[in-house]
Amino acid sequence: MVRELTEEAMKERFDYLLFSAGASVSRHFAPIAASVGTTVVDNSSAFRMDPEIPLVVPEINGDILKGYRGIIANPNCSTIQMVLSLYTVHREFGISKIVVTTFQSVSGAGRKGINELMAQIDGQEETIHFPRKIHLNVIPLIGEIKEGFSTEEWKMINETRKILDDPSIEVFPTTVRVPVIYGHSESIYVETRKPFESEENLKKVLQKAEDVVVKDEIITPLEVAGSDLVYISRLRVVKSNVFMFWNVADNVRVGAATNAVRILKMHMEMKG
């Protein structure tokens, strides 16, 4: 049943509400829903860095949902797939530094992003939502620049630290838009505090990460569209405490919808 989103409707108590209509809609309506006891899972950036609101990737920090009621924030898409691949490494060896370059699909900008690429493929020259033409191009800017980094890059810096519960991790991102429809890719360089010693040892720890697959062959976004897993490939050990890899996942599933549903399911299970 489709109903209009109104303040009145939000005052009706639901077990769960999933918000995915942008930050301004969430900021207006989610607190009303939470105030009557509804648990809200919010896809937008509105509450992610609020210290009172849990920012959750269930496989990593789902335990903080125990006994919690109110708004739960779903992280940024590029952050979710990166921390999923790295949380077991952080637990085992402690991550000190991450240098990441993203290759983010146009669907990360929503339906309008897909429409803009399609229109340009059909010959339209106009750019509306992206800062440059995206067809046959790459754009090294997502969001606006604020104190050196872009707003998308700040999300990766701050949300990684909040989810991994370690403000000392240094994160240096460059977020790039590419003419791919679904699936974000990331080239990631990692330094750990404790040495992991060998590639075999590192691989074992990476393989412990839930919903993450380590592959020997290269993985591209076309192959992961529609999947609920994160794919690690091109793993390279540079030193006993430094490694690099290629990380790919479906941004609208792993990076948004799947994570939101996993939050809801875990919250339900914890309530018993």
Ligand X SMILES: NC(=O)c1ccc[n+]([C@@H]2O[C@H](COP(=O)([O-])OP(=O)(O)OC[C@H]3O[C@@H](n4cnc5c(N)ncnc54)[C@H](OP(=O)(O)O)[C@@H]3O)[C@@H](O)[C@H]2O)c1
Which residue numbers are catalytic? 77, 184
Name which of 62 and 108 has its Cβ closer to ligand X: 108
Q: Output the DSSP codes for 161-201.
A: HHHTT-TT-EEEEE--B-S-SS-EEEEEEEEESS---SHHH
Amino acid at site 42: D
Amino acid identity at 41:
V
In the complex, what is the shortest distance from the CB of residue 226 to ligand X, in angstroms, rounded to a whole number?
14
252 binds ligand X, rule: CB under 6 A: yes
The nearest distance, CB 272 to ligand X, in angstroms, is 29
Residue count at the site for ligand X (CB under 6 A)? 19
- Report phi then psi at 146, rounded to 5: -135, 115
Binding mask 207-246 for ligand X (x = CB under 6 A): ----------------------------------------
Calculate helix-pair angle for 151-163, 77-93, nearest 10 degrees: 40
Instruction: Give residue for tokens 């991450």.
Output: 98
Q: Which of residues 70-129 bind ligand X (CB under 6 A)?
A: 77, 107-108, 110-112
Burial class (CB in 10 A: 0-12, 13-18, 19+), 269: exposed
**DSSP-derived 3-state class of residue 12:** coil
Q: How far is the CB of 46 from ligand X (least distance, A)?
A: 8
Q: Single out the segment in contact with ligand X by CB under 6 A; choices: 38-46, 147-155, 199-207, 236-244.
A: 38-46
Residues that bind ligand X (CB under 6 A): 5, 20-23, 25, 43-45, 77, 107-108, 110-112, 251-252, 255-256
